[in-house]
Amino acid sequence: MADKVTIADVARAAGVSRQTVSNALNTPEVVREETRRRVLDVVEELGYRVNLAARQMRTGRSRLIAARIDPEQDGINGSVGDRFLHGLTETAAAEGYRVLLYTAKANGDDGEIAAFDDLLGAHEPDAFVLMATHHGDRRTSWLTERGVPFVTFGRPWSEPTAAGHPWVDVDGAAGTDAATRHLLSRGHRRIGFLGWPKGSGVGDDRREGWRRALAEVGLGTAGLFTETEDDVAPGEQAARRLLDADPEITALVCASDSLALGALHVARAPGPAWHAGGHPHRPVAVVGFDDTPVAKAIGLTSVRQPIGEVASSCLRQLAHQLDGGAGAPPEHLLLPPSLVVRASG
Amino acid sequence: MADKVTIADVARAAGVSRQTVSNALNTPEVVREETRRRVLDVVEELGYRVNLAARQMRTGRSRLIAARIDPEQDGINGSVGDRFLHGLTETAAAEGYRVLLYTAKANGDDGEIAAFDDLLGAHEPDAFVLMATHHGDRRTSWLTERGVPFVTFGRPWSEPTAAGHPWVDVDGAAGTDAATRHLLSRGHRRIGFLGWPKGSGVGDDRREGWRRALAEVGLGTAGLFTETEDDVAPGEQAARRLLDADPEITALVCASDSLALGALHVARAPGPAWHAGGHPHRPVAVVGFDDTPVAKAIGLTSVRQPIGEVASSCLRQLAHQLDGGAGAPPEHLLLPPSLVVRASG
DNA sequence: GTGAAAGCGCTAACAA
DNA sequence: TTGTTAGCGCTTTCAC
């Protein structure tokens, strides 16, 4: 049962004062080598561990990092959030932190800000990790104003990135660029893009990579792009629209696996719409984004984000903000995704 | 910036002592109505919130519930854990708790026990929520010995359930029973089962439901069962084995969506093995377990566990253990799953 | 019903 | 280099 061992017990057993024990643990360089060893031996022997609540009272630091667990959306893209949380938790433990979960009751930035406020008032996490930054993100300004440390998975889309807060992101444009080049290398010439409505940083970024890749080989994009809500059924409809409108399209790059899954419903089975429209069935290659379990299950080629790396970079960035220490990680980090090629394209 | 408001500030502003403020908040029935109102008004006005670290020092209670976030396995079945965590987090917030994540570095029960020990020494969570109980689970005995409160998602498979700890579980046998009846109602008579090696509580339970449903209509199960590791490729091989061995089989109940996905690879496309074996292609119905996003994406009929309910029940059970209060939730709760019928069966 | 005193375990500041 | 003092914010005694 090993009843709570306090610093006083260690001090007594080692024949030193409590402060010296504290120093031996937290500021070893200030304690004589021999004393330090003796103290650490006793610590080991008694199984002493600091009481973080007590420490927090003194230092104001909880060693808690708050992160949001979101509702699972369509369950397809949701897996990204879960991989991210897992990565955070592992790196946090290595850095001496723990991840505290929260959800936002109300929607949007304000709902999440209310959660910040609750958390800060009660458990006082030392920092936040935010996902899914967007234009005019009110969460980041709220935290900045209050001097609460945080990192985001996602660029600050509105501000000049140089001025903003620390962030880690994946280069979405590089991902769709790679996807498009891959399709080009397989002989496709008219390659469409299925994306989200303009105005979302992430969506625009992904579309840009596709545009750029086509432009570089002298191909235009007129009539090759359509936008829709990020879900399977809308994706299917949008794909049908695009393919019906332009019979020359032989491949589609999609902004998400959800959209790609919808597109595959059209691309793999000859839909009645085509026959009705007079277009015979033709094979249409499809590439998704995120490499979710669904992509793997159905053989969908997809752009994979290095989520584990993003998570550990976020956490190391935070740990450095909070604890300092050697080797400051970059304030801003843009990681390259990779293309996972499967049967669909 | 609203600098930390302490209980002393409230006491001063309300013209009472600090204890009275504390009482008004924590033991309202002991404070005169009028005083209580005045105090609460000031609390509101000043935006006072208890400092949990300070409270923890006095009471020894952190209002933290620890839960494990596991590695995503094959990413298919993993989604269950994520839905569970999400549910926990929401109910926890409603009960005034927060969810603290941990991972186990080393594998198995001992790895997780090491994590318990770390957590208990540092952040001192008030309780744990455990997933995936199994025969001879050492985690539960470790916690019990130390008097640490916990609930499990999963029955205590080894002990007589009456004697064990609080738990919430889903009736897996009822799920496969329902799946089997559904297939029977569609005219299937030889229905196989693709499961995990015997000895796992969950796997045996799911197999039992299938056996029971067949037995009730006077059908035997000899030669209709095969076992394998819980992943797609093994599932595919096992399904092929079963279907090759018995050409009469027209439907398969599977212990997981991973296995079912493997089975579908065999069931949907006429594989060369059948032709080689002389069996022509026949439609084989497949039912999975867990209703993962993959099941939805590929049109797989699957047994859905009410994960959200499991999570909130777990948390309410804990909250009652910790805080008491009215209406004790049941110590043991077995929830029924439901069958989500799709194209595969 | 309300107030005063004490102390949870720790570390920042200072004294020795 | 080590020890002493003080106090973080709260709640559990116990007087009043």
**pLDDT of B271 over the 70 cut:** no
The residue that leads in pLDDT, A115 or B326, is A115
Contact between B169 and B331 (Cβ < 8 Å): no
Low-confidence winner among A20-24, A126-130, A190-194, B68-72 (lowest mean pLDDT): B68-72
Q: What's the pLDDT tens digit per position in A295-316?
A: 999 999 999 999 999 999 999 9
Distance (Å, whole) CA B178 – CA B161: 24
C-alpha–C-alpha distance, residues B20 and B30, integer Å: 9
CB contact under 8 A, A76 and B297: yes
Cα A340 → chain centroid:
19
Angle at B211 between CA B210 and CA B216, to 5 degrees: 100
Tell me what the mean pLDDT of segment B51-59 comes to. 95
* CA–CA gap between residue B121 and residue A316 (Å, rounded): 24
Which residues neighbour B293 within 8 Å (Cβ) at sequence distance 6 or greater? A74, A75, A76, A78, A79, A292, A293, A294, B79
- Encoded tokens for B223: 């030669």
Query: How far is B39 from B45, CA to CA, in rounded Å?
Result: 10
pLDDT band of A276, cuts 50, 70, 90: very low
What percentage of residues in chain A have a pLDDT greater than 70?
93
> Which residues, in sequence order, are CB contacts of B175 under 8 Å at separation 6+?
B206, B209, B289, B303, B305, B336, B337, B339
Give the per-residue pLDDT at B275. Answer: 41
Task: Name the band, by pLDDT with cuts 50, 70 and 90, for residue B74.
Answer: low
CATH of domain A172-304: 3.40.50.2300
Instruction: Provide the CA B58 to C1' D12 distance, Å, integer.
Output: 8
Which residues make up the interface with nucleic strand C when CB must lie under 7 A? A 4, 6-8, 18-19, 22, 25-26, 48, 50-51, 54-55, 57-59; B 15-20, 23, 30-32, 34-36, 57-58
Question: What pLDDT, on the 0 to 100 scale, is given for residue B325?
Answer: 80
- Spatial neighbors of A250 by CB under 8 A, at least 6 apart, are A188, A189, A190, A191, A282, A283, A284, A285
Number of residues assigned to chain B: 345
Residue whose tokens read 């007590």? A54
Positive or negative, the CA dihedral B61, B97, B290, B103 is negative
- How do residues B282-340 score in pLDDT, each as one tens digit? 689 999 999 999 999 999 999 999 999 999 999 999 999 999 887 889 999 999 999 99
**A284 within 8 A of A267, measured Cβ to Cβ:** yes
The integer distance in angstroms from the CA atom of B25 to the C1' atom of C2 is 15
Six-digit token string for A122? 């009660």
Structural contact between residues A88 and A127, judged by C-beta atoms closer than 8 angstroms:
no
Q: Band of the pLDDT at B277, cuts 50, 70, 90?
A: very low
Q: Are A32 and A66 contacting, i.e. CB atoms less than 8 angstroms apart?
A: no
CA distance B317 to B43: 30
Fold agreement between A2-50 and A172-304 = no
Would you say residue A279 has pLDDT above 80? no
Q: At what angle do helices A52-59 and B52-59 cross, to 10 degrees?
A: 140
Work out the mean pLDDT of chain A and round it to a whole number.
91
**Cβ contact A149:A343 at 8 Å:** no
The helix (run of H) or strand (run of E) holding residue B130 is strand B127-131
The contacts of residue A142 (CB under 8 Å, 6+ apart) are A113, A116
Indicate the DSSP class of residue B266. Answer: H
Half-sphere CA count of A87, side-chain side, radius 13 A: 20
Q: Contact B39/B20 with Cβ under 8 angstroms?
A: yes
CA nearest neighbour of B285 among B195, B218, B345, B202: B345
Q: What is the pLDDT of residue B327?
A: 83
Of B341, B231, B249, the C-alpha closest to B287 is: B341
* Of B77, B286, B322, residue with least CA distance to B176: B286
Q: Would you call B26 helix, strand, or coil by DSSP?
A: helix
Q: What is the pLDDT of residues A77-93, one digit of tens each?
A: 778 998 999 999 999 99
pLDDT for res A275? 41
pLDDT over 90, % of chain A: 84
Interface of B with A in 182-241 (CB under 8 A): 232
Of chain B, the percentage scoring pLDDT greater than 90 comes to 83
Tell me the pLDDT band of B2, cut-offs 50, 70 and 90: low
If we measure between CA atoms, which residue out of B62, B101, B111 comes closest to residue B81?
B101
Band (pLDDT 50/70/90 cuts) for residue B269 is low
Residue pLDDT, tens place only, B151-160: 999 999 987 6
pLDDT in tens, B84-109: 999 999 999 999 999 999 999 888 99
Closest CA-bearing residue to C1' of C9: A54
What pTM, to 2 d.p., does this model score? Answer: 0.93
Question: Which is more confidently placed, A233 or A327?
Answer: A233
Domain segments of chain B as ranges: 2-50, 64-169+307-332, 172-304
pLDDT value at A161 more than 90: no
Q: In Å, how far are A21, A30, A61, B58, B263 from A48, measured between CA atoms?
A: 11, 21, 20, 20, 53
Two structure tokens written together for A72: 């699972």
CB proximity list for B87: less than 8 A, separation 6 or greater: B307, B308, B309, B310, B311, B312, B315
Q: What is the pLDDT of residue B197?
A: 97
List the alpha helices (DSSP H) in A52-190.
52-59, 78-94, 108-122, 138-145, 172-185
Report, as an integer, the average pLDDT of A166-189.
97
Q: How confident is the model at residue A76 (pLDDT cuts 50, 70, 90)?
A: confident
Q: What is the mean pLDDT of chain B?
A: 91
Chain D nucleotides near the protein (CB, 7 A): 1-5, 7-13
pLDDT in tens, B10-45: 999 999 999 999 999 999 888 899 999 999 999 999
State the pLDDT at residue A1. Answer: 43
The span from the CA of B129 to the CA of B250, in Å, is: 40
Q: Which residues contact A74 (CB under 8 A, 6 or more apart)?
A: A230, A231, A232, A258, B293
Q: In this predicted structure, what is the pLDDT of residue A277?
A: 44
* Burial class of residue A141, CB neighbours in 10 A (0-12, 13-18, 19+): middle
pLDDT of residue A341: 98
Q: Best mutation site among B82, B84, B302 for testing chain A: the one with the most A CBs within 10 Å?
A: B82
Give, as one character, the DSSP assignment of residue B334. Answer: E
Using a CB–CB cutoff of 8 Å, tell me whether B57 touches chain A. yes
pLDDT at B132 over 70: yes
Instruction: Calculate mean pLDDT across residues B110-124.
Output: 95
pLDDT recorded at residue A75 = 72
A294 at interface of B, judged by CB pairs closer than 8 A:
yes
CB atoms within 10 A of CB B328: 11
- A171, A93, A147, A145 alpha-carbon torsion, rounded to 10°: 50
Q: Which fold has domain A64-169+307-332?
A: Rossmann fold (3.40.50)
* Protein residues with Cβ atoms closer than 7 angstroms to any atom of nucleic acid strand D: A 15-20, 23, 30-32, 34-36, 54, 57-58; B 4, 6-8, 18-19, 22-23, 25-26, 48, 50-51, 54-55, 57-59
Least confident piece of the model among A243-252, B11-20, B214-223, B270-279 = B270-279
CATH for the stretch B2-50: 1.10.260.40
